[in-house]
Structure 1
Amino acid sequence: MENPISHYASMTDKIVHFQICILIQIIEYDNQKEIPIPISHRNITIKELFGMIEINDTDYKYLASYETKFILSNDITLSTINETKFFLAKENQTCVVSIQQADDVLIAVDDESMQNQRYLINATMNDVYKQN
């Protein structure tokens, strides 16, 4: 399908219709198998995207950012994140990270969003930093 439009137009006298899709790549975390999912728009939630994945293993429960390894909430829409590649993970392939502030800091940051965040088990401090 990597031909110029003129190639398809010269094959017939009829109108040729094209639909441009966004290719989402889902990577199974345990075996690195890639699952391509074409979507027509980015106005879908993580939950809806998860429902499009054809897998037999019901243990998969999470989609994580490929960049930060952060487990994404089901109600996030793809239009709010700038990624097209995600990990598909099971419960035992995740961990919960909480960042607590020391008592003797100069500036206090009261941010509950940094408590109990779920990441893939191979996430680094750099991944947590990028996410927050």
Structure 2
Amino acid sequence: MIIDIINRNIVTKIQFTFETNNYSNYALKSTKISSLLNNENILEYLNLTDLSFDDCLLVVKGSNEHILTKEDLQKSIDTYSITENEPIHFQIMTLVQITKYDDEEQIKVPLLNRNITIEELLHLTRKSIDIYKYLATNDTKRILNSNEKLSNLNKTKFILIKENEMCLVLIKKSNDLQPIHVTEEENEKYQRFIVCATIADVNKENQQDILHQYLLYSNDIVPSTDIQLITFQSESLIQFIAIDQNLPITVTIKNTEVNKSIQFNCRLSITIKRLYGIACQLFCLKREYYCLIMNETTLDDDDVC
């Protein structure tokens, strides 16, 4: 074992605080602050393993208390030494980043403690809660309940939305996927999403196995995962059934006006009339102005695929 002996004058005591957790140790005065933040032991002691330092702010405590910038983090810890033999105290704050859905305005909310509800976080945005009523997760676009605790979410990025920017989704399990003795309430899951959320977002939020489980809509189509929920908004409640086998026919319909295609799976018995209705709904088109064409031939409503 090799032990290095160093001059005590070149080391200093440091202290990190995050919420109710504290970590103290000694470090060389010349050590960069950024190097300390890469220490996994510090993260574990402070119970910060579920967050990245990109989601945090570092505050140096004392008479000149302030938030450190990225440039400050490259300075040595001795830069912030106030009194000889006194520890240098850093406090870590969670930085919550919120994007307004309507205009993409960025709102940053620094928090000393994540033990707050979504409703309390809404008030901290300083936006009118009569207009901006909901927060959604940034990854799956699910609307959060007002009483959910931020500390339980392990998330720091959210989207702020209005009432008319959300939709209600109901997912039922098919008989094949239902456990024995399951109640009707357990079989149904109501959730709210931003209208821009896709089928993939719904799958991710519900931890659907996208290779073996599918969402059946209107009992006759399985929309592709890139289709947005806004295309189903003609209904106040968007209903899906979780099934374990995809439907056999894959259909692709192209809207030549906007050069955009949609894809879904359907049953063998589906009619052209029904395909036409689905296409108009998913493209948000008025039925009387369009028709379906395949191989330069207009398809008849009564035909079966």
CA distance in 2, matches of 1:20, 1:122: 34
SS in structure 2 of the partner of residue 31 of structure 1 = coil
3-state SS of paired residue (1:100): strand
Q: Please tell me the residue identity of whatever aligns with 1:123.
A: A
Unaligned runs of 5+ in 1: none
- Mapped pair 1:107 → 2:177: yes
From the two aligned structures, give the one with the greater strand fraction.
Answer: 2
Give % identity. 39
| 2:196 matched residue in structure 1 | 122
Matches of residues 30-45 of structure 1 in structure 2 within 5 Å? 30-45=102-117
Q: CA deviation at 1:78?
A: 1.0
Counterpart of 1:7? 79
Structure 2 segments unaligned to the other structure (5+ residues): 1-67, 207-305
Report how far residue 56 of structure 1 moved. Answer: 5.0
| Partner amino acid, structure 1, of 2:205 | Q
Please state whether the residue corresponding to 1:50 is helix, strand or coil.
helix
- Please report how far the alpha carbon of residue 55 of structure 1 lies from its aligned counterpart in structure 2 after TM superposition: 2.1
The one-letter code of the counterpart of 2:113 is: H
Structure 1 residues 74, 57: CA separation in 2 closer, same or farther (over 3 Å shift)?
A: closer
Tell me the distance in 2 between the aligned counterparts of 1:127 and 1:107. 21
Contact 2:173–2:188 (CA under 8 A) maintained in structure 1: no
1:33-70 deviation digits (Å, cap 9, x = unpaired)? 11000001221111111111112574100000001100
Q: Which residue is 2:135 aligned to?
A: 63
SS at match of 2:116: coil
- Distance change (3 Å), C-alpha of 1:57 and 1:82: closer
Distance 2:104 2:153 in 1: 22
Cα 1:72/1:113, change in 2 over 3 Å: farther
TM-score by length of 1: 0.84
Higher relative contact order (CA 8 A, sep 6+): 1
Moved over 4 A (4+): 14-17
- CA distance 1:71–1:113, shift in 2 (3 Å): farther
Q: Go from structure 1 to structure 2 and tell me whether the alpha carbon gap of 1:79 and 1:112 turns closer, same or farther (over 3 Å shift).
A: farther
CA RMSD after TM alignment: 2.1
Q: Using the alignment, how far apart are the partners of 2:165 and 2:171 within structure 1?
A: 20
Deviations 1:84-123 (A, max 9, x none): 0000000011111112344xx42325535522x1100001
Secondary structure, aligned partner of 2:92:
coil
| In structure 1, C-alpha distance between the alignment counterparts of 2:143 and 2:152, rounded to whole Å | 15
C-alpha distance in structure 2 between counterparts of 1:106 and 1:27, whole Å: 40
Structure ID, larger Rg = 2
Indicate if the aligned counterparts of 2:171 and 2:188 stay in contact, CA closer than 8 A.
no
Cα distance change on mapping 1:113 and 1:82 into 2, 3 Å: farther
Q: Deviation at 1:17?
A: 4.2
Residues in 2 aligned to 1:27 and 1:112: alpha-carbon distance in whole angstroms: 33
Distance 1:20 1:107 in 2: 45
1:81 corresponding residue in structure 2: 153
